[in-house]
Amino acid sequence: MSTLDGATEWRRLSELYGRISDDELLDLARKKSELTDVAQEALASEMSQRRLKLEPEPRVIPAPMPEPEPGSAYYEDRRLVEITTVWSLADALRVQQLLDGAGIPFFMGLEKATSVDLVTSNFANGVGVSIMNIGLPWARQVLQNYFPKDEPEREREEEIKELSVHCPKCRSTDIIFDELIGQTPTTEQDSPLQYEWTCGSCGHKWTDDGIVGDG
């Protein structure tokens, strides 16, 4: 578009925008990316003259996923368990990146936020990160290489004790989650799923309910 054509278009749009209401101008401003550069300039000029300011859209926080009722068919699989606590935005983003990369849904804080940008809790007080119980073996593997930068030392020591998974034979933490054995229980009488593990150090294989003891 030539300079002359651009000036003509700017005047045309300025006259057009000058005739529409404030609400219509604000609606156009919300679709600013769809307008041409000339139209954006004319719109900005008109809004400036009227001293209109586009307020940010209110953030919509999705309702947290309700936990299953105790005794329901999938209660044990979907029961939320806390896997770690984050003490800063940077650590929260790191945990989100690791869990998202592994395809593991998570919930942060008492508000059960499904994304860091939806967390309203104060990270300085510690924000719990929970997942569904069925994803625990994968989450343990994903987080075994996670080293928080802002976690209090005492909390870190306790977390290592809680999340440390080791071989019941040689005590090595170099373990590999192999597979789930069985079918998802549908009644309280059905056997729970079992987890099969292999020790990367000694080759020992074992199964358990997802919590490795001192066996």
pLDDT, the chain, mean: 78
> Mean pLDDT throughout 182-201?
63
User: Given this model, what pLDDT does residue 21 score?
Assistant: 92
Q: What is the pTM of this model?
A: 0.45
> What is the reported pLDDT for 96?
93
Question: According to the model, what pLDDT value does residue 182 have?
Answer: 60
> 24 or 157: whose pLDDT is higher?
24
pLDDT for the residue numbered 142: 85
- Rounded mean pLDDT, 87-113: 91
Which one of 18-27, 60-69, 186-195 scores highest in mean pLDDT? 18-27
Q: What is the pLDDT of residue 2?
A: 54
Average pLDDT over residues 151-159: 56
> Pick from 126, 127, 129, 128: which is nearest to 152 by CA?
126
Q: Three-state secondary structure along the chain?
A: CCHHHHHHHHHHHHHHHHHCCHHHHHHHHHCHHHCCHHHHHHHHHHHHHHCCCCCCCCCCCCCCCCCCCCCCCCHHHHCEEEEEEECCHHHHHHHHHHHHHCCCCCEECCCCECCHHHCCCCHHHCEEEEEEHHHHHHHHHHHCCCCCCCCCHHHHHHHHHHHCCCCCCCCCCCEEEEEEECCCCCCCCCCCCEEEEEECCCCCEEEECCCCCCC
